[in-house]
Structure 1
Amino acid sequence: MRLVSMVTDVAKGFGSLVGVRGGTEEPRYDVQEKIHGLEIRRYGPRIAAETTVPGGEESARSAGFRRLAGYIFGANVSKSKIAMTAPVSQARGPGDSWIVRFYMPSQSTMNTLPTPEEQNVELVEVAGETVAVLRFSGDRSRGTVDARSAELLRVLEKTAWFPNGEPVAWFYDPPWTVPFRRRNEVVVPVVAR
């Protein structure tokens, strides 16, 4: 049985190298519209574990990821493991900081999720929202995310949707995934004009 588990883990690791995401839950959504290369999606309410990390974008993403991974791998009061989901969300926070989020599995509730051991990890309820999404692969540096966010806002000007917040980056694959196979998105809440 242990050999089967090891083989499965190796297969998943190789799959993640080339962008295969089988078995990783993502928040459910309905596509409202596809227009000018964007998707307008409607997400229902969900729960996220989040942490705020000061510093540069990439170092904050790495530190935030490790902190949140610790929570889902058992750094919580009940020592419970929680399934990994995608995407990892990163948004500008107050001052020179970044907010990194993991969305919790869909069956989770605030009452069933364990309390984080680390003070810098908190569980938050995310309200349902309509968002505009621009998907891209490859590099996910600050410059690329800024350029894609600007493109998202520029394209939105040609639609019946108006941005209602700041763009956020979503990353679906681990950093070791070959760049051209990575799924990345920039997302902004929208309202109809």
Structure 2
Amino acid sequence: MGMILGKISVETPKYEVIQSTPDYEIRMYSAAVIAQVTYDPNQFKGNKDAGFMILANYIGALGNPQNAKPEKIAMTAPVITKSTKQEKIAMTAPVVTKSTTAGDNRMMTMQFILPSKYRRGEEAPKPLDERVVIAEEGERKYGVVKFSGNASDEVVKEKVENLRKCLERDGYKIVGDFELARYNPPWTLPPFKTNEVMIPIE
């Protein structure tokens, strides 16, 4: 019942709020270890979140963990979706989805941030599926705005444009494309969903 009503009971990324305004927060996120997978949504009937099952199998969310130990790894939140054009951009959060445009091919990268007990990449269990890659992320700074409801493309686009304008107005230098953080499973009632749009800044 708690998940339907938006209760977040899993580990979330550690960050420090550097500045809080009526329009956004500036946050510094701590270093983290991530598991990621890159794929072409067209091979999954256009499903942008197709990497979720691959990563869920790695941590053992759906049964036996598909890693070398094998070791069950706790799920974290949020799920982060990221859109980018060819340049590489630093990532954050437990589940991250990036889209990379190369010609007409649109690739997605989805990431889980692993629990904080894993401080280095080599401490995380080795994936059995070669599509799963373990990586380390350093400290990262973002402008962030929080909102509830369903994170439709239209809503997200509006939130990103507003956040970008506010950050530029206040003199922040944007250094990459936005990330969408979704903290709840799909069956959470929309008014109780927690979402964030995050834009990396210098």
1:172-191 mapped onto 2 (5 Å cutoff): 172-191=183-202
Q: Is the 8 A contact 1:136 1:184 kept in 2?
A: yes
Structure 1 runs of 4+ with >4 Å offset:
none
Find the partner of 2:79 among 88, 102, 106: 88
Structure with greater helix percent: 1
The answer to whether the 8 Å contact 1:50/1:101 transfers is: yes
The answer to whether the 8 Å contact 1:51/1:120 transfers is yes
Q: Deviation at 1:58?
A: 7.4
Residue 36, structure 1, aligned to residue 22, structure 2: yes
From 87, 91, 98, give the equivalent of 2:108: 98
Deviation at 1:186, TM superposition (A): 0.9
Checking the alignment, whether the CA contact within 8 Å between 1:36 and 1:155 is kept in structure 2 is: no
Q: Give the paired residue count.
A: 176
Taking structure 2 as the reference length, what is the TM-score of the superposition?
Answer: 0.81
Deviations 1:133-164 (A, max 9, x none): 01111112222222221121122122132211
What's the counterpart of residue 48 of structure 2?
A: 60
Q: Which runs of 5+ in 2 are unaligned?
A: 84-98
2-side partners of 1:141 and 1:124: how far apart? 29
Instruction: Name the counterpart of 1:21.
Output: 8
Distance 1:53 1:146 in 2: 23
Corresponding residue for residue 87 of structure 2: none
Matches within 5 A, 1:23-172: 24-55=10-41, 59-61=47-49, 63-73=50-60, 74-92=65-83, 93-95=99-101, 96-108=106-118, 109-172=120-183
Q: Structure 1 residues 147 and 124, CA, compared in 2 at 3 Å: closer, same or farther?
A: same
Task: Provide the C-alpha distance between the structure 1 equivalents of 2:161 and 2:40, rounded to a whole number of angstroms.
Answer: 23
TM superposition score normalised by structure 1:
0.85
Query: Which segments of 5 or more consecutive residues in structure 1 lack a partner in the other structure?
Result: 1-13
Q: CA offsets per residue over residues 71-96 of structure 1, 9 Å max, x none?
A: 11111111210011111111123221
Over the matched positions of the two proteins, sequence identity in percent amounts to 31
**Letter matched to residue 88 of structure 1:** V
What CA deviation, in whole Å up to 9, does each residue of 1:106-158 have, x standing for no partner?
11032221111112111111121111101111112222222221121122122
**Two-structure CA RMSD over aligned residues (Å):** 1.7
Distance 2:70 2:123 in 1: 13
CA–CA distance in 2 between the matches of 1:182 and 1:58?
24
